[in-house]
Structures are given as C-alpha cells and as structure tokens.
Amino acid sequence: MPTLVCFGDSHTAKEESIEGYERLTPRLRNNLTDWTIVNSGISGETTRAALARLQDDVLRHSPDLVTVLFGSNDASEHRRINLPEYERNLEIMIDRITAEKTIIISPPPIIESHQKKRSNKDIEKYAEAAKKITSKRGCHYIDLWTYFSKNKLYEKMLVQDGLHFNERAYLFLSELILDEVRSIYAKAV
C-alpha cells in the first residue's frame, strides 16, 4: 500500500474543523482508499521547525509521496523566516524526501483586513520562492497562490480570521492534490 504524507502548518494539521467538516487528510483518504494517508501538519509551524521534525514525522513513514505546504507562517511578521532560509529549508526537505516524491504547494493569499501580522505582498514572495525552488529541484508543484488569487477566489475560501481554510477550500485543495497524485502515477505506469 503506497503512503502519502501531508507535511505542513495549520493548513494541513488536524482532521476535522471546529465546525465538524473534514479537513485535508480525511478527504484524501476517502478518495485514495488504497493509500495510507499520514497527517504531519502542526499549526503555527515554519519551515525551520518542520525541518527539525522531518525524519520523525515524514521520512520514518517511507512515503511514496509527500505534500509540503509551508510559507504562511514563514512570511508572517511574528514568526518570520527570511526568504533565503525559507528557500534553503525547502531545498533540504526536497533533497531528503527526493524530488520525484515531493509535491510542493505554494502558500495561499490571505484576507489582509482580517490579518494584522501577514500581508499578501510578503506571502506572494514566498509563493514565488516555492515555485522557483520546485523548478530548480525538479519536483512536483501545486500553485495554490495562483489558483486562490484568480478573481480573489481566496475571499470565498477562508474562514473569518482571513488565514485558515473553510470547507470549500479543503475540497478544492484535496482535488488539486488528487489530480497531482493521479498524474504522477499515470506517468509512472
């Protein structure tokens, strides 16, 4: 049975929302029934902290694929990881996981009027850095920044705090990941 590890911050963490809807990993489990899906998300985390737990929370599962979704906290004023370190941290993750097994997901935009310590101008730089690193390393990529930015779609995808995903966003993200996994495995056959 192949294994998919979802590695990330609060966009990945937890199985269910406070409102009771399924978040990312249960949706993936419902669709990838012949896969083991592991949730390795921790709320509030940056790439620096994630790198420290990569072995225990990701690699020990011997994953066939790993989604990597960080940047919203790295770009924040209160947890800031500068861009060169963010890029280095992503490169180290990709190298340790291997490019062919890594799916980098760019951080999404926020509703700025609801967020005091983050800005779309800053987050966009981290999204661009993620895209640059995936191109450089040759791994898989989901451009969540661009998908959410189209027609300000993110305004319909985020809960009241302007940062975290609502049910619609988790449905959308899970479909993007499912499409990517199917595409990767169709090419491998």
Expressed as residue numbers, the domain containing 40 is 3-188
For residue 95, pLDDT over 90 is answered with yes
- Supply the CATH number for residue 152's domain: 3.40.50.1110
For residue 117, pLDDT over 90 is answered with yes
What's the number of domains the chain is made of? 1
Q: Rounded to a whole number, what is the distance in angstroms from the first to the last CA of the chain?
A: 16
Over range 114-143, report the average pLDDT.
Answer: 97
Residues, the chain, total? 189
Closest CA to 43 of 73, 68, 64: 73
Asked if residues 25 and 15 have their Cβ atoms less than 8 Å apart, the reply is yes
d(CA 54, CA 173): 22
Over range 157-165, report the average pLDDT.
Answer: 94
Tokens of 92: 């180290």
Beta bridge partners of 6: 39, 67
Over range 127-156, report the average pLDDT.
Answer: 94
For residue 189, pLDDT over 80 is answered with no
Beta bridge partners of 22: 16
Over range 38-51, report the average pLDDT.
Answer: 97
Looking up tokens 């090419």 gives: 187
For residue 19, pLDDT over 70 is answered with yes
Over range 14-26, report the average pLDDT.
Answer: 91
The pLDDT of residue 168: 95
The pLDDT of residue 51: 97
Mean pLDDT of the chain: 95
